[in-house]
Amino acid sequence: MGRRAVPDAIRIFYEDPPVASRELRINGFAAGEWMAPSLVDRPRGTGDWLLMAFHQGVDVGFEGDVVRVGGAFLMVWSPRQGHYYGRGDQRWCHSWIHCDGALVERLVATEQVPTGVPIHGFDPADVDRCVVSMHDEIQRRGDPDATIVGNLLHNLLRAAARSASSARPCVPPGLLAVRRHIEANFTQRLTLAGLSARAGCSAQHLCAQFKRHFAVSPIDFAIRLRLHRARVLLSDRNRRVAEVAALVGYDDVPHFSRLFHKRYGASPGATRRSPRA
């Protein structure tokens, strides 16, 4: 499955960094930058910190050995480490931040972010969002707030540390896309066939993976969202039960009432009459 394009892709190396102090210096960044088949080989690095998220498998060098690292992952290189990465056989995509300063050194140490090794279970979109937010802060302000930019970097490094130490696997992007689709469209008719097609897998695999990560099946998740929304709507005394049922996607009012009672232990009408409804 191809990496989605980043609108108005950002790629900047600053000759005169807008955030530049002994605490923090942002030298450049990029979000979703596609590269032609190529390998980058910098034995001495670039003299600053480099955070780089790869959107698919690439070759990475470790102390003279080159290893194909599969899937999306993050690398954090210190100013003292060399860089070797890329793909010579196909195009590849990465997002990155070049930065420096005492703050970066301190955050990497306090958050215990591993350097020079792949950090798996990390979503490259986290770097994209960080870059877009940094760029927005820098572009909108003649004098960007270094604390805001530093906080964005801090959040990113905390996420990296969590991915490095977490035993729980990161939710795959395809599964997150299905969940977001359900959250945005739960009042519509949703089918396992349609959801699995969106995820690019079989219905059986989708159900198993969705339940593994979210402890509920996709359809049951949609039902829970419908019923929770119905409970909120029932607090409006101007809405009839049949109207509420229709608003959350049920034409069959008795069926809606049975599901509601099973979920909350009371009928929609009784819930409306309750002072806590």
Express each pLDDT in 24-70 by its tens digit.
999 999 999 999 999 999 999 999 999 999 999 999 998 778 899 98
Please give the pLDDT value at position 172: 80
Packing angle, helices 218-233 and 192-199, rounded to 10: 110
Which residues of the chain form CATH 1.10.10.60? 173-273
- The CATH topology of domain 173-273 is Arc Repressor Mutant, subunit A (1.10.10)
State residue 273's pLDDT score.
72
Candidates 127, 132, 55; CA nearest to 96 is: 127
Lowest-confidence pick of 20-29, 144-153, 164-173, 258-267: 164-173
160-217 pLDDT, tens digit each: 999 888 745 667 878 888 999 999 999 999 999 999 998 888 999 999 999 988 889 9
CATH topology of domain 10-165: Jelly Rolls (2.60.120)
CATH 2.60.120.10 in the chain, residue ranges: 10-165
